[in-house]
Amino acid sequence: MIPLPKKDISANTRLIGYNSKSRKVGIMTEKSLVELKRGPLYDAQIRNGAKFGEMAGCRTPLSFAGPLLEHKAVRESAGLFDRTYHGAIRISGTESAQFLNGLVSNDVKTLQPGRWLHAAFLTAHGKVKALCSIHNLGDALLLLNDPQTHDKVYSFVFPFSYAGDFKVEEASVQYRTISVEGPRSEAVIKEICFEPASDLGDDEWRNATIAGAPCLLRRYSRTGERGFLIMAAEAGVTDVWEFILMKGAFHGIAPIGLAAAEILRIEAGIPMYGSDIDETNMLLECGLPDYASFTKGCYVGQEAVAMATYRGHISKKLCGIIVESDSVPPNSAKLFAESKEVGRVTSSLASPSLGRTICLGYVKYGFFDVGKRLDVEMDHTTVQGQIVALPFCGSERP
């Protein structure tokens, strides 16, 4: 769970930690901070007043001005997010599309240059190994992976390099990612690059030059607000970061840390791998319909996905739950209905936007309809909750 601080974190404190696996906030020791790798934006973020936590083994900003102020900036104007911890893989060769198409859930063979799509790597039983986005660069395919699964994906796909005309390359250093999100994000993008973005489709990407650095630009949102993902080589990403903050100041842009990003993600009802999704979940249970094609040919896990589709229902579903309590239930809290255990909480927080306690959680078939009342386990008792439609806040989700 993410407990909402009653006031923003002191700007004088630098040793606040955020554990990307447990998603708990706590105090880091000097030793634990030193042991983490520095991200490519570290020096710039020190100048921005960052307090650091951990993401994928790297020092990543937990907050700048404080989670509540940063949350407000994204909901009302725009925020700049460090997402350089994501991993990238480049796959080239005449058989690259055919090769990748057999490994992921979406249709890569029909993906045209200048387009991108979401996809998932599944087990043979249809469980989710990893989520990714795939971009057709024209001469290659670019996979952008979550930090929790990047090494696993690379280890899985690289051995296939020896089986045909395709080449698998680690490309994270060439494609470091940051995002601009919020209602003023389009105005910020207009300020920082000559290439127009207002006509950019949800499934399109284009080349852009920002602060003299070649970049890849596309729509993106992990907050429920309109937004853009920017990919730049590690050598130029600091210049891009600082240029965006300078040019975006007129539009109220602010740098955003992990704590505020997590609040915004949960309010937007967006599941995160390792928190709300893992290898125990079927893809169709996760509320990600755009991650799968139901018309493409064979791929790993297809039979299980098809079986669930043709059966007409799934055994459980990721749902939004409003809890009628000021206390925040812990992750893995049990959910009950009609005296039966029917699910569990995966993410929870006190929402600044709603002034309510909200949760994401899996609920069994027969109990996950919107409006269904549930009992939520908390501190050896239960409190009332109700299933609501997702997202809790915002509507953008490219």
Q: What pLDDT, in 10s, does the model give residues 86-111?
A: 999 999 999 999 999 999 999 999 99
Q: What pLDDT, in 10s, does the model give residues 20-37?
A: 444 444 444 554 556 788
**What pLDDT is recorded for position 53?**
87
**Residue 38, pLDDT above cutoff 80:** yes
Query: What percentage of the chain has pLDDT greater than the value 90?
Result: 78
Q: What pLDDT, in 10s, does the model give residues 273-294?
A: 999 999 999 999 999 989 999 8
N residues, the chain: 398
| pLDDT range class, residue 342, cuts 50, 70, 90 | very high
User: Taking Cα atoms as reference points, which of 42, 118, 395 lies closest to residue 283?
Assistant: 118
Q: What pLDDT, in 10s, does the model give residues 230-250?
A: 999 999 999 999 999 999 999
Q: What pLDDT, in 10s, does the model give residues 153-186?
A: 999 999 988 788 899 999 999 999 999 999 999 9
- The mean pLDDT value for 127-143 works out to 97
Q: Cis omega (within 30 of 0) on the bond before 271?
A: no
Q: What pLDDT, in 10s, does the model give residues 136-154?
A: 999 999 999 999 999 999 9
| Amino acid (one-letter) located at 84 | T
- Residue 72 sits at φ, ψ, to 5 deg, of -60, -40
Q: What pLDDT, in 10s, does the model give residues 115-125?
A: 999 999 999 99
Distance, in Å, from the CA atom of 161 to the CA atom of 171, rounded to the nearest integer, reads 15
Question: Going by C-beta distance under 8 Å and a sequence separation of 6 or more, which residues neighbour residue 155?
Answer: none
Domain residue extents for the chain: 16-84+174-267, 315-398
Kindly tell me the sign of the dihedral angle through the C-alpha atoms of 338, 339, 344, 349: positive
Average pLDDT, rounded, for the chain: 90
| pLDDT range class, residue 6, cuts 50, 70, 90 | very low
Is residue 342 helix, strand or coil?
strand
User: Taking Cα atoms as reference points, which of 261, 265, 179, 269 lies closest to residue 218?
Assistant: 179
> CATH 3.40.50.40: does it fit domain 16-84+174-267?
no
Is residue 67 helix, strand or coil?
helix
| pLDDT range class, residue 214, cuts 50, 70, 90 | very high
- Name the class of domain 315-398: mainly beta
